[in-house]
Amino acid sequence: MTVTDTSLAALLLTNRIVDVGAKPLSAGEFWELQRKVPDLDLLMGASADDLRDRVGPDEADRVTALLEAGTAFAFERERLQEEGVLLVSALDDHFPGRLRSMLGDACPAFLLVAGPIDFLALPMVGVVGSRDASPVAMEVAGEVACAAAAQRRAVVSGLARGIDQAAMMAALQAGAPVVGVPSEGVRVAARNAEVRSRVHAGELCIASPYGPGVRFTAGTAMGRNKVVYALADATLVVCSDNGKGGTWEGAREAMRRGFGRVAVWTGDGEGPGNAALVKQGASAVGSVEALFDLGDKPLPAAAAASVAAQVSLFD
């Protein structure tokens, strides 16, 4: 993958793959700087005076330290590539345009991607929900994934147990492309042997907005949620707690900030917070056929019904 000077500058400024002694720019800081200096390559090799003029005296030393870390950064980036992981700047052609258009300044400045990067440009359906979902809710998630496969859409979710797992396993079984957005770094997510196997087989794409070794926190889970919503043409909340939990907060943030279209399941298996999310503006969906506009076409319910009994992909 060709990396332009502008893209390299963006990656260095937001570098989270190697510690260089300077705090990398946050997404908001990066996009603010990019508006101020649209051609970021002009910062590469600029004099101290020029940098102060372009980025301001308060940020000049920090920007200088980040941009001068090219050697250490290049070695670590090469190591990631040897592991099959691509570091993609938000200014690269391969970066999914939907993220920037949907998330605005909340868009991550980079992604670490393992697996088929082309999956990120496909039409996608998101499926999210509680980790402690009922068997009926798990079957609903599986039916949605099977319907997505029938419509030649990818399935995107969060690589967590429960609803995420059910949807992704059903999609893989049905032969649909699958995108997993973990709430931790790509190296942490790839410790699961089956995840690695699915990535190597070209069936699963992992796209992480975090440094490769970052571990789960409530904050990283929320950051993961917005990426799922923004990548999907629509995301179905199968089951949610009422007033609490990551699924609830993620759906409310997506609606409040316009991160993506939020649909909520209103049938057997729905969670205690589903009706409340509909009242707050989510689209009520009472059948998989309605969600996908499948009319009277039957879905492969047998495949979906077996999801709850399958071996866990992500535990």
Q: Does residue 277 sit within a domain?
A: yes
> For position 172, which CATH number holds?
3.40.50.450
Q: How many domains does the chain have?
A: 2
CA angle 205, 97, 213 (to 5 degrees): 45
Report whether 12 contacts 67 (CB < 8 A). yes
3-state secondary structure of 218: helix
Element (H, E) at 125: strand 124-128
Output the CA torsion 293→295→300→301 (10° steps): 90
- Which stretches within 46-120 are classed as H helix? 48-55, 57-67, 70-82, 97-103
CA distance 165 to 168: 5
- Mean of the pLDDT values across residues 260-264? 92
Q: Does residue 38 sit within a domain?
A: yes
Q: Does residue 48 sit within a domain?
A: yes
The answer to whether residues 169 and 293 belong to one domain is: yes
**Strand 204-208 relative to strand 178-180, pairing:** parallel
The answer to whether residues 83 and 123 belong to one domain is: no
Range with the lowest mean pLDDT among 27-41, 113-127, 290-304?
290-304
The answer to whether residues 124 and 246 belong to one domain is: yes
- Which stretches within the chain are classed as H helix? 5-13, 27-36, 48-55, 57-67, 70-82, 97-103, 135-150, 163-174, 186-189, 193-200, 218-231, 246-257, 274-279, 288-292, 301-305
Tokens of 34: 């990019």
The answer to whether residues 98 and 59 belong to one domain is: yes
pLDDT surpassing 50 at residue 306:
no
pLDDT surpassing 80 at residue 235:
yes
Q: How far is CA 123 from CA 11, 154, 186, 289, 295, in A?
A: 27, 6, 23, 18, 20
Closest to 264 (Cα-Cα) out of 234, 222, 308, 225: 234
The answer to whether residues 237 and 272 belong to one domain is: yes
Query: Among residues of the chain, what percentage have pLDDT more than 70?
Result: 92
Report whether 236 contacts 143 (CB < 8 A). no
Q: Does residue 315 sit within a domain?
A: no
Domain boundary among the residues 63, 84, 108 is at: 108
3-state secondary structure of 208: strand
Angle between helices 163-174 and 135-150 (to 10 degrees): 40
The answer to whether residues 68 and 180 belong to one domain is: no
The answer to whether residues 100 and 238 belong to one domain is: no
The answer to whether residues 98 and 148 belong to one domain is: no
The answer to whether residues 173 and 272 belong to one domain is: yes
- Mean of the pLDDT values across residues 245-272? 95
- Mean of the pLDDT values across residues 293-312? 35
- Mean of the pLDDT values across residues 304-311? 35
Provide the pLDDT for residue 171.
97
The answer to whether residues 66 and 97 belong to one domain is: yes
CA distance 134 to 308: 9
Q: Does residue 296 sit within a domain?
A: yes
Tokens of 282: 């989510």
Q: Does residue 267 sit within a domain?
A: yes
Q: 210 in the Ramachandran plot: left (φ > 0), alpha (ψ -120 to 50) or beta?
A: beta
The answer to whether residues 56 and 136 belong to one domain is: no
The answer to whether residues 47 and 157 belong to one domain is: no
- Mean of the pLDDT values across residues 138-145? 96
pLDDT surpassing 70 at residue 298:
no
CA distance 152 to 150: 6
Q: What are phi and psi of 212, to 5 degrees?
A: -60, -25
Domain boundary among the residues 108, 139, 156 is at: 108
pLDDT in tens, 85-133: 999 999 999 999 999 999 999 999 999 999 999 999 999 999 999 999 9
- Tell me which DSSP letter residue 126 carries: E
Domain boundary among the residues 108, 126, 141 is at: 108
Domain of residue 53 covers: 5-108
Tokens of 117: 């990067």
Closest to 3 (Cα-Cα) out of 78, 82, 106: 78
CA distance 41 to 44: 5
Output the CA torsion 153→157→160→162 (10° steps): -70
Element (H, E) at 244: none
Q: Does residue 97 sit within a domain?
A: yes
pTM tops 0.75, yes or no = yes
